[in-house]
Structures are given as C-alpha cells and as structure tokens.
Amino acid sequence: MRRAPIALALLLLAGCTDGGRVGPPEILYGVDVCDHCRMVISEERHAAAARPGEGERRFDDPGCMIDYLGAQAGAPIAAWVHDESAAWLPIEEAWFVEDPDGGTPMASGILAFGSREAAAGAAERYASEPRSWAALLAAAAERSVD
C-alpha cells in the first residue's frame, strides 16, 4: 500500500526534469534556425545542439554554439556536435580541428571528430592541431579578449 505514493512521487519528480530528455534535441534540417545566427540549419555534419538549463538550443555551426554559450551565464547541461560520420557526439568526447578556409556554414572552420586520431589526421591536412572542447573554448575566450 505504501509503495503507490512513492511510485507516484517518483513519476512526478521525473516530470520535473525536462521530460527526462537526455540526448540532443531533434533538428529539422531545412526548417529549424540557428539560435545564434538565425540561419536555417541545413548541413547535418556541422550542426550542434545544447541543453542549457531547461531549454534546447540548435546551431548550424559549432562556432555559433561557442559564441552563443559564451554570451550566456553558466555552462550548458549537455551539448553535442556531429562527427565526421554525421553521428551525434557528446561534446566532452569530441575533438576539434580548425579549417583555416572556413569550410563550415558560418565560416568558423570548426570541425568535430569522434576520436583524437581522426582529428589528428584532419589536423595534418589543415595545418592545425586537435583540440578538446575545453581547449577550444579557452582559445575562443582568449580571442575575444584581444
């Protein structure tokens, strides 16, 4: 008899956690717009997403996500990018390389990869070096101070 109130309380509590959503928000390519630059998100390979607080944010370029999150108070609860296979990848697992020619929808040139090895291979092509998300954010913050 006492288990029913506990189960009900757990269900109500689960309802207060952003619907229990833990993965990236769905992006409707060719329809949804970037929460930073307001351009239509059309290239899955370069799309990024975040769940800061209770909201959902979608981006057409990892550079837009960096700019948007940098202007917000606090860090996102979770964020994702697409790797070279266009699969979603948690931001903490991704490695990034900067393409000096821009090569992304908003010309940030920030490309995400699913492993350090894949990023290192791309880095050779772009005369760049693989960076973690934390290192990429630190570099962006340093550039904004200059």
Give the predicted TM-score (pTM) of the model: 0.78
12 lies in a domain?
A: no
Distance between first and last Cα of the chain: 65
Q: Which two tokens stand for residue 73?
A: 């108070």
* Range(s) of the domain holding residue 63: 22-145
Least confident window among 48-62, 73-87, 103-117, 127-141: 73-87
Whether the per-residue pLDDT at 23 is higher than 60: the answer is yes
Please list, residue by residue across 12-45, b when 16 or more beta carbons sit within 10 angstroms of its beta carbon and e when fewer do.
eeeeeeeeeeeebeebeeeebebbbbeeebeeee
Number of domains in the chain: 1
Give domain status of residue 59, yes or no.
yes
In a domain, 61, yes or no: yes
- Cα–Cα nearest to 112, from 53, 40, 61: 61
Tell whether 6 is covered by a domain: no
Asked if residue 13 belongs to a domain, the reply is no
